[in-house]
Amino acid sequence: MKDNSQETTHFGYKTVDKAQKKSLVAGVFDSVAAKYDVMNDVMSFGIHRLWKRQTLDASGVRKGQRILDLAGGTGDLTAKFSRIVGPQGQVVLADINDSMLKVGRDKLRDMGIVGNVEYVQANAEELPFPDDHFDAITIAFGLRNVTDKDKALRSMLRVLKPGGRLLVLEFSKPEHDVLNSLYDFYSFNVLPQMGGLIANDKESYQYLAESIRMHPNQDTLKQMMEDAGFEQVTYQNMTGGIVALHRGFKF
């Protein structure tokens, strides 16, 4: 009997051909791009800004460095990194989705951020950059949408400089049962309704809730990073484990 496990993957709770997932995810983010920042604030009650601040603090980024903000979307982290690295540094805002990249580029240009930011449409599984190129890579709320996460992690390792670090900020598994139950109720009963009211797209936010549940938990992702070749991998739970920040180094 033919084993189809290598040919299929999950899109939320649905099983789809691996070749389909990229276009399905693209459809979600084409739909939500224009309202993405507003929905982030509403969905997280603004707490996503604190999660991203913690990621910045853990990045160790300094003036003159080269940073990859992968799946960087509308550019929240890119904007901060741009100011930190200064005119001698460089930040690459990369996203597989052209609609998100355009929203990010327009937003950052409206903020007056030009000169040290480059915009690249890129697939995390096959990054179009040289080996040993970046001092740090961040991927915030993007890894769960990648079809082949193991391949993507190996690709990130390749383009990191020795001594560089990867930071993965992603929704994860709440630490306590009561919080987990409340989070489930919010995700599947409130979040899609918000998506329908604010972004006129209930289905995309249903997928986002499902994609969070299908993402590897904290310890599983830690092991995946180690298997990809990262060292000294640690994670920090935030908001009771609703979000986790994983950090790993290349030596």
Q: Which residues are annotated as a binding site?
A: 74, 95, 123-124
93 phi/psi in degrees, rounded to 5: -90, 110
What is the spatial distance between Cα 15 and Cα 217, in angstroms, rounded to a whole number? 19
| Known binding residues for S-adenosyl-L-methionine | 74, 95, 123-124
DSSP codes, 121-176:
E--GGG--S-TT-EEEEEEES-GGG-S-HHHHHHHHHHHEEEEEEEEEEEE---SS
Neighbouring CB atoms inside 10 A of 19's CB total 11
Give Cα separations from 140 to 1, 64, 144, 249 (angstroms): 39, 22, 10, 17
Strand partners, 138: 69, 167
3-state secondary structure string across 234-246: EEEEEHHHCEEEE
